[in-house]
Chain A
């Protein structure tokens, strides 16, 4: 396919010559000469393939942002050839980008050795965006046979989920790790909370002797504090599209933010945190500690997408062998009927299960005005979910039903072990 300008000129020339010959009219034949000459010059000076002559550099600042923050993308296109090009450059766009300032396209005349910069600012939604190239159109002086193609210009920007800072979540795992942390280990040792007193043994520090109890009992006793240790936390993010039906992607974004907030909180507390994206696929981030691990988890969450898979349609295929018994499993999911059985099995196997249920009805109502109809529909949906949540409550799992219009942190702060459902 030859581009339209060259084609039109060529066809016009052929038409003039053909008509001139048909009518035996020399004037028409002579009239075709300027057209043919224009076409010939345009083709002769058409740019060759400029891919080796044009170099592009991309700068993305910053490369790691949170949802809603701005990203400045700068492109520098340099002409390393020996001829001038008229260049139209357009950067690839992403559906998650909203242009804030500048524009991602520009036309310039690039002389040899010259370069031109293009900069624009976007606000991005959660995701990992991989820029690969810029689209370039290079025209010759008469605009015939332009070259259209891509100049490689790779870069990557990670837009992490925006999450709340959780101040407290008193939901200990059933089994702890032999590493200091913040989870009460139900055993005497070093800690802050009073655990009990016991007889003095050789080797105990004298400053731990409870003098009043010693005076009462007549034998030396020491104070024991409850040991605080790290625990294993597995965050399971439900990415089954059917669980979010009707409210995706807004509800899913809230679920991702909740998972990020919980991961951040537990890592900050010194726990070993793993992440499992369950649904369309199995994506397991092995448990780990520290800031680098947090970055890994946040990146995985940034890339999380909904999907469907027949294999992982039910929660029953949850790979529990990856999660140590006694760990705290935090399931972030709007849930579907049938999930309650799996949650019950998890509790029976010795896991402490905490289910964060982003309320689909609240996500649906997020963009709607408050009205009687909206309230009624919310209540009907609420009743349906109430049945499901009641069954889960009976299994012994802790359930937090989260109205996504409200912040998560205050709800989480109210959770105490022993309480089952918080709304």
Chain B
């Protein structure tokens, strides 16, 4: 299913660009190809490349002014990204896989759908902000997240700090 979403995202990006036939546009195939490789070779790195590539395609659509198509591509990329996890964890029972996929689908659809609604709603907002205010906000947000992620890292078992005795005698 992850591959279907990945190829759909690439197709949407191609359709959004009015089906160009120039050789350069073959690079559109690279992100879903990476996803396909990630699926068959079970390599997370390929999935990451594929996802980043699909986000890049969405970005390209947004830059050329096809904002809604860009959002659609991004949504499909996120669906593909969420479902990529299942290529890593096979289960012996088909029923279990479907159960988990259904749950993931509901959560993904909820998260991505609400994100799309927020994005579309935000696109209707009209306000102007000073560039430096925006940059400052971004830096502040980034620092906040860094701090929070560090907390999470400690919570999830980072390396222990402090004095520790050696388990073997020193020479």
Q: Report how far A160 CA is from B158 CA in the complex, Å.
A: 40
Chain B residue nearest to A149 in the complex (CB): B157
Chain A residue nearest to B138 in the complex (CB): A17
Q: Which residue of A10, A36, A48, A109 has the most chain B CB atoms within 10 A of its CB atom?
A: A109
Known: A8-B52, A103-B92. A109 touches B99 (CB 8 A): yes
Q: Which residue of B48, B134, B156 has the most chain A CB atoms within 10 A of its CB atom?
A: B156
Which residues of chain B are near A18, meaning CB under 8 Å? 138
Selected interface stretch from B9-17, B18-26, B74-82: B74-82
Cross-chain contact A28 with B156 (CB below 8 angstroms): no
Q: Report how far A108 CA is from B95 CA in the complex, Å.
A: 10
Chain B residue nearest to A46 in the complex (CB): B152
**Those of A15-64 within 8 Å (CB) of chain B:** 16-19, 21, 23-28, 30-31, 33-38, 41-43, 45, 48-49
Q: Report how far A2 CA is from B11 CA in the complex, Å.
A: 32
Q: How large is the interface on B (under 10, 10 to 19, 20 to 34, 35 or more residues)?
A: 35 or more
Which residues of chain B are near A34, meaning CB under 8 Å? 71, 74-75, 78, 112, 115-116, 118-119
**Those of B115-150 within 8 Å (CB) of chain A:** 115-116, 118-119, 122-123, 131, 134-135, 138, 142, 145, 149
Selected interface stretch from A139-147, A266-274, A355-363: A139-147
- A12 interfacial by beta-carbon distance below 8 Å: yes
Which residues of chain B are near A9, meaning CB under 8 Å? 81
Cross-chain contact B62 with A35 (CB below 8 angstroms): no
Which residues of chain B are near A16, meaning CB under 8 Å? 55, 59
Known: A28-B62, A106-B92. A10 touches B145 (CB 8 A): yes
- How many pairs of A and B residues are in contact by the CB < 8 Å rule? 125
Q: Which residue of B44, B48, B62, B75 has the most chain A CB atoms within 10 A of its CB atom?
A: B62
Our pick among A23, A33, A142 for the contact of B119 (Cβ within 8 Å) is A33
Which residues of chain B are near A48, meaning CB under 8 Å? 155
Which residues of chain A are near B158, meaning CB under 8 Å? 1
- A4 interfacial by beta-carbon distance below 8 Å: yes
> Least Cβ distance of B151 to chain A in Å?
11
State how many residues of chain A have any CB contact under 8 Å with chain B: 49
Cross-chain contact B100 with A86 (CB below 8 angstroms): yes
Known: A21-B134, A35-B55. A14 touches B75 (CB 8 A): no
Cross-chain contact A2 with B149 (CB below 8 angstroms): yes
- A131 interfacial by beta-carbon distance below 8 Å: no
Q: Report how far A421 CA is from B169 CA in the complex, Å.
A: 48
Cross-chain contact A1 with B62 (CB below 8 angstroms): no
- B89 interfacial by beta-carbon distance below 8 Å: yes
- B162 interfacial by beta-carbon distance below 8 Å: no
Which residues of chain B are near A139, meaning CB under 8 Å? 85
Chain A residue nearest to B90 in the complex (CB): A107
- B104 interfacial by beta-carbon distance below 8 Å: yes
Our pick among A30, A86, A109 for the contact of B67 (Cβ within 8 Å) is A30
> Least Cβ distance of B77 to chain A in Å?
9
Cross-chain contact A33 with B44 (CB below 8 angstroms): no
Cross-chain contact B82 with A142 (CB below 8 angstroms): yes
Cross-chain contact A143 with B82 (CB below 8 angstroms): yes
Which residues of chain A are near B74, meaning CB under 8 Å? 31, 34-35
Our pick among A2, A27, A145, A149 for the contact of B63 (Cβ within 8 Å) is A27
Our pick among A1, A12, A37, A86 for the contact of B55 (Cβ within 8 Å) is A12
Q: Report how far A347 CA is from B32 CA in the complex, Å.
A: 79
- B91 interfacial by beta-carbon distance below 8 Å: yes
- A88 interfacial by beta-carbon distance below 8 Å: yes
Cross-chain contact A143 with B71 (CB below 8 angstroms): no
1/0 contact trace for B85-105 toward A, CB 8 Å? 100011110001101100110
> Least Cβ distance of B49 to chain A in Å?
10
Known: A4-B44, A14-B142, A141-B107. A107 touches B100 (CB 8 A): yes
Cross-chain contact A28 with B63 (CB below 8 angstroms): yes
Chain B residue nearest to A145 in the complex (CB): B152
Cross-chain contact B122 with A21 (CB below 8 angstroms): no
Which residues of chain B are near A103, meaning CB under 8 Å? 92
Which residues of chain A are near B138, meaning CB under 8 Å? 17-18, 21
Cross-chain contact A142 with B111 (CB below 8 angstroms): yes
Which residues of chain B are near A5, meaning CB under 8 Å? 81, 85
Task: List 30 A–B pairs whose Cβ atoms lie within 8 Å, in order of A's numbering.
Answer: A1-B158, A2-B149, A2-B152, A5-B81, A8-B48, A10-B145, A12-B55, A18-B138, A21-B135, A24-B131, A25-B62, A26-B123, A27-B63, A28-B63, A31-B58, A31-B67, A31-B71, A33-B119, A34-B71, A34-B78, A34-B112, A49-B155, A86-B100, A107-B89, A108-B91, A108-B100, A109-B96, A142-B108, A143-B82, A143-B104
A residues apposed to B, CB below 8 Å: 1-2, 4-5, 8-10, 12, 14, 16-19, 21, 23-28, 30-31, 33-38, 41-43, 45, 48-49, 84, 86, 88, 103, 106-109, 139, 141-143, 145, 147, 149
